[in-house]
Structure 1
Amino acid sequence: MIKKIAIADLKPGMEVVQLSSEMWQHLPYLYADPGIIESEEEVTRLQELGYRQVFVAMKNDSDLSDEERLDLLITGCADVQRPKPRRPFDEAIRSAAITYEDAMGLAMRLVSDAKLGKKVDFTTAMETASSIVESALSNPDTLVCLTKLSNFDDYTYTHCINVAAIAVVFGDYIGMSREELTLLGVAGMMHDLGKTAVPARIVTKPGRLTKPECEEMKRHPGYGRTILQRNSDIPPRVLEAVRAHHEKYNGSGYPDGLTRKEIPAFARILCLADIYDALTSNRYYKDAIPPNKALGIMYGMRDQDFDPTEIQLFIKCLGIYPSGSFVRLNTGEYALVFETDAFKPLYPKIRIVMNKSMKPIDAKDVDLKDQTSDNGETIEIVECADPSAYRRELMTYLTGN
Structure 2
Amino acid sequence: MIKKLPVEELKPGMEVVKLSSELWEHLPNLYTEPGEIRSEEQISSILNNGFSHAFVKMAAGVDETTGEKLDRLLAEREFSPPVKPRVPFEQEIEVARMTYENAMLHAKRVINDAKMGRKVDYDASLETVDDIVESAVRNPDTLVCLSKLSDYDEYTYAHSINVATIAVVFGEYLGLDRDDLVKLGAAGMMHDLGKTAVPARIINKRARLTPQEFEEIKRHPEYGCDILEKSGGVPDEVLRAVRDHHEKFNGGGYPEGRDRQGIAPLSRIISLADVYDALTSDRSYKDAILPNKALAIMYGMREQDFDPREVQMFIKCLGIFPSGSLVRLSSGAYGVVYESNPALPLLPKIKIILDEDLHPIPSELVDLAVEQAMGHESLKILECADPETYKVNLKPYLTRKG
Question: What's the TM-score, normalizing by structure 2?
Answer: 0.88
Cα distance in 1 between the residues matched to 2:284 and 2:247: 23
User: Is the contact made by 2:324 and 2:337 (CA closer than 8 Å) also made in structure 1?
Assistant: yes
Cα distance in 1 between the residues matched to 2:174 and 2:354: 35
Name the counterpart of 2:2: 3
1:396 corresponds to 2:396: yes
Give the letter aligned to residue 288 of structure 1. Answer: A
Q: Which moved more, 1:359-368 or 1:121-130?
A: 359-368
Provide, for residues 84-132 of structure 1, a one-character-per-residue CA deviation record: whole Å limited to 9, x for no partner: 1111110011111110010000011011000000111111110111110
1:30 corresponds to 2:40: no
1:57 corresponds to 2:58: yes
Cα distance in 1 between the residues matched to 2:78 and 2:286: 34
User: Is the contact made by 1:16 and 1:55 (CA closer than 8 Å) also made in structure 2?
Assistant: no
Alignment of 1:168-317 (within 5 A): 168-317=168-317
Shift of 1:352: 1.0
Give the letter aligned to residue 2 of structure 2. Answer: K
Name the counterpart of 1:360: 360
Provide, for residues 163-194 of structure 1, a one-character-per-residue CA deviation record: whole Å limited to 9, x for no partner: 00000011111110011101110000000011
Shift of 1:284: 2.3
Name the counterpart of 2:128: 128
Cα distance in 2 between the residues matched to 1:346 and 1:235: 39
Cα distance in 1 between the residues matched to 2:229 and 2:324: 36
Alignment of 1:132-143 (within 5 A): 132-143=132-143
User: Is the contact made by 2:152 and 2:284 (CA closer than 8 Å) also made in structure 1?
Assistant: no
Alignment of 1:78-93 (within 5 A): 78-93=78-93
Cα distance in 2 between the residues matched to 1:170 and 1:377: 30
1:337 corresponds to 2:333: no
Q: Which moved more, 1:228-237 or 1:274-283?
A: 228-237
Provide, for residues 289-326 of structure 1, a one-character-per-residue CA deviation record: whole Å limited to 9, x for no partner: 00100000000000000011111111111111011111
Name the counterpart of 2:29: none
Change (3 A) 1:281 1:90: same
Cα distance in 2 between the residues matched to 1:205 and 1:261: 34
Name the counterpart of 1:42: 46
Structure 1 counterpart SS, 2:230:
coil
Name the counterpart of 2:11: 15
Give the letter aligned to residue 12 of structure 1. Answer: E
User: Is the contact made by 1:151 and 1:391 (CA closer than 8 Å) also made in structure 2?
Assistant: no
User: Is the contact made by 2:70 and 2:265 (CA closer than 8 Å) also made in structure 1?
Assistant: yes
Give the letter aligned to residue 383 of structure 1. Answer: E
Cα distance in 1 between the residues matched to 2:50 and 2:258: 32
Identical residues among aligned pairs (%): 50
Give the letter aligned to residue 361 of structure 1. Answer: I
Change (3 A) 1:86 1:43: farther
Give the letter aligned to residue 169 of structure 1. Answer: V
Cα distance in 2 between the residues matched to 1:38 and 1:262: 30
Q: What's the C-alpha RMSD, in Å, of the aligned pairs? A: 2.6
Change (3 A) 1:4 1:245: closer
Name the counterpart of 2:28: none
Structure 2 counterpart SS, 1:337:
strand
Provide, for residues 254-291 of structure 1, a one-character-per-residue CA deviation record: whole Å limited to 9, x for no partner: 00100000000111110000000000001122100001
User: Is the contact made by 1:96 and 1:142 (CA closer than 8 Å) also made in structure 2?
Assistant: yes
Change (3 A) 1:117 1:46: closer
Cα distance in 2 between the residues matched to 1:4 and 1:393: 46
Cα distance in 1 between the residues matched to 2:185 and 2:49: 43
Change (3 A) 1:205 1:361: farther
Q: Which moved more, 1:195-204 or 1:312-321?
A: 195-204
Shift of 1:38: 6.9
Structure 2 counterpart SS, 1:363:
strand
Give the letter aligned to residue 42 of structure 1. Answer: I
Give the letter aligned to residue 288 of structure 2. Answer: A
Cα distance in 2 between the residues matched to 1:298 and 1:118: 36
